[in-house]
Structure 1
Amino acid sequence: MTVASNPPDWRASLPWPGPETHKHARGRLGVVSGRSSQTGAARLAARSGLRIGAGVVSLLCPTEAVAVLAPAVEAVMLKPFADSEMLAELVAGMDAVVVGPAAGVNDATMANVRALAETGAALVIDADGLTVFEGWPSDLFAVLDRDDVLTPHTGEFRRLFPDLLDLDREAAATQAAARAGAVMVLKGPHTVIAAPDGRRVVNDNGTPWLATAGSGDVLAGMIGGLLAQRMDSFDAACAAVWIHAEAAAGFGPGLIAEDLPDRLPAVLARLWPGQ
């Protein structure tokens, strides 16, 4: 199945607020930040989660990063943690969490992913959250469930599924989703989204303007924001990939990742049934 130029089935399941909706009803998203010198990726993801509609977004950061992040956020809340146990406590009551962007390839990131998997929040695992399990992919797959979403580019995919890239990308993503037991977003010019139940979409509105640092962090935050609003994980991934590309194409040359979150309202307005 290929996404057409006009959004397909997921459009009907996009979450929209009603007259009585309050911020907590729109979902609570957490985004795990890296250390003090590695906070930009998480800030991009958090802002994207807000723009896509999550009602409450919190940056979960190592204690040392508080002084860097506090002056850099406004509507996004800031919650410091000292270890993975404290991180899991902070996530209690959250609907979704993004973990991995600039998190660091280290034991702390591995422990954080494992702790978050026990919280019941839907996870979006990206970047360092994937790479840290190179050599131990089964350790990651053992803690995932079908509501979680993995968002590797080709290099990250190879680290977890070194045997699958001999296949075509569609088959590779499909088998990877089944093996991991989670939704797979294999990023590229034609991003493949696959669910463990066999559903698959090849996105066809990709644009080269997304070839810029940080664009994947924005996508992770968008998926997390839709998951926080309790959208089906596969549909949320399909919708976010399409909207992400539409936002980039609407900007065109000169796009940097920081531009993307503020392009989302125009794309969402075109999708809103009340328009």
Structure 2
Amino acid sequence: MTQASETDWRASLPWPGADAHKHARGRLGVVSGKATQTGAARLAARAGLRIGAGVVRILCPPDAAAVIAPAIEAIMLTPFGSAEALAEAAEGMDTVVIGPAAGVNDATQANVRALAGTGAALVVDADGLTVFEGWPADLFAVLDRDDVLTPHEGEFKRLFPDLLAKGREAAAREASRRAGAVIVLKGPATVIAGPDGRLAVNGNGVPWLATAGTGDVLAGMIGGLMAQRMDSFDAARAAVWMHAEAARSLGPGLISEDLPERLPLVLAALYPQAG
């Protein structure tokens, strides 16, 4: 086990070269919920853009497009009307985030399965996890080792009801083995576990993150780093650390919308030329 300090993953952060262009920096998709539930996807998408993904696109149900379009600028938008259409819209994406306010319904299950067949790495969060309560094997069957699940303890219990009694570190390790994917067990000391046995515990958590929407930002950050082809385990622990550093710099009064705007300062301090 290692602490998730910046020294462990700093050398693998995906900085752009002098000849970089937007597509070389990675393509990230974020699936939105219905028209009344679009904020979570917008938070995740903005975080993915801020952390360096070159192209970010929100994929949304048709009724949500008119709500999202006036609220985004550099982020692109594609409506979809079925799981098959979602898979087509995700063609060519490096990573897709699904779950934030997606809806706990059959459509979300179908959308996760459809995206799993696209070749994009997945970050599955929130409703994308809860919707498989009672059927965790159905989710695990479509995952691979590059995918990341980001549960808080409540969501974790829905998929792994027997594990938390073992302690958070042992639970995350066993959950990662069962799922065959990276697990980010969120909390004051977030645990990141990989299916290859790697385990890290984040040591810089702050209480200001206990507010609505911060998990959506984290999912977008992880997805943004993965879209830039950073190893999924390293992307998860790097994002967890940077998420907390951004929160620490903001302090009391933090709301989730603040976090993406603080990422340039966190990234600047990590940039090789800054040291």
Partner of 2:184: 185
User: Per-residue deviation at 1:8?
Assistant: 2.1
In 2: Cα distance, 1:130 partner to 1:219 partner:
15
What whole-Å deviation, never above 9, does each CA across 1:228-247 have from its counterpart, x for those lacking one?
A: 00000000000000000000
Partner of 1:64: 63
User: Per-residue deviation at 1:166?
Assistant: 1.1
In 1: Cα distance, 2:148 partner to 2:222 partner:
8
Partner of 1:26: 25
Partner of 2:89: 90
What whole-Å deviation, never above 9, does each CA across 1:139-170 have from its counterpart, x for those lacking one?
A: 00000000000000000000000010111100
Partner of 2:233: 234
In 2: Cα distance, 1:259 partner to 1:167 partner:
35
Deviating above 4 A after TM superposition, structure 1's stretches of 4 or more consecutive aligned residues are none
Q: How does 1:199-218 map to 2 (within 5 A)?
A: 199-218=198-217
Partner of 2:2: 2
Matched, 1:244 2:243: yes
Q: Structure 2 length normalisation: TM-score?
A: 0.99
Query: What percent of counterpart residues are identical?
Result: 77
In 2: Cα distance, 1:110 partner to 1:251 partner:
36
What whole-Å deviation, never above 9, does each CA across 1:36-69 have from its counterpart, x for those lacking one?
A: 0000000000000000000000000000101101
In 2: Cα distance, 1:233 partner to 1:128 partner:
21
Q: How does 1:131-210 map to 2 (within 5 A)?
A: 131-210=130-209
In 2: Cα distance, 1:91 partner to 1:78 partner:
11
User: Per-residue deviation at 1:3?
Assistant: 2.3
In 2: Cα distance, 1:214 partner to 1:100 partner:
12
In 2: Cα distance, 1:258 partner to 1:215 partner:
8
In 2: Cα distance, 1:17 partner to 1:254 partner:
33
What whole-Å deviation, never above 9, does each CA across 1:209-233 have from its counterpart, x for those lacking one?
A: 0000000000000000000000000
Unaligned runs of 5+ in 2: none
Partner of 1:36: 35
Q: Structure 1 length normalisation: TM-score?
A: 0.99
Partner of 1:258: 257
In 2: Cα distance, 1:192 partner to 1:218 partner:
17
The one-letter amino acid of 2:251's match is G
Cα RMSD (Å) of the superposition? 0.7
Unaligned runs of 5+ in 1: none
The one-letter amino acid of 1:244's match is H
What whole-Å deviation, never above 9, does each CA across 1:191-210 have from its counterpart, x for those lacking one?
A: 00000010000000000000
Instruction: Provide the aligned length of Structure 1 versus Structure 2.
Output: 274
In 2: Cα distance, 1:58 partner to 1:147 partner:
20
In 1: Cα distance, 2:70 partner to 2:8 partner:
41
The secondary structure found in structure 2 opposite 1:227 is: helix
In 2: Cα distance, 1:22 partner to 1:11 partner:
22
The one-letter amino acid of 1:54's match is A
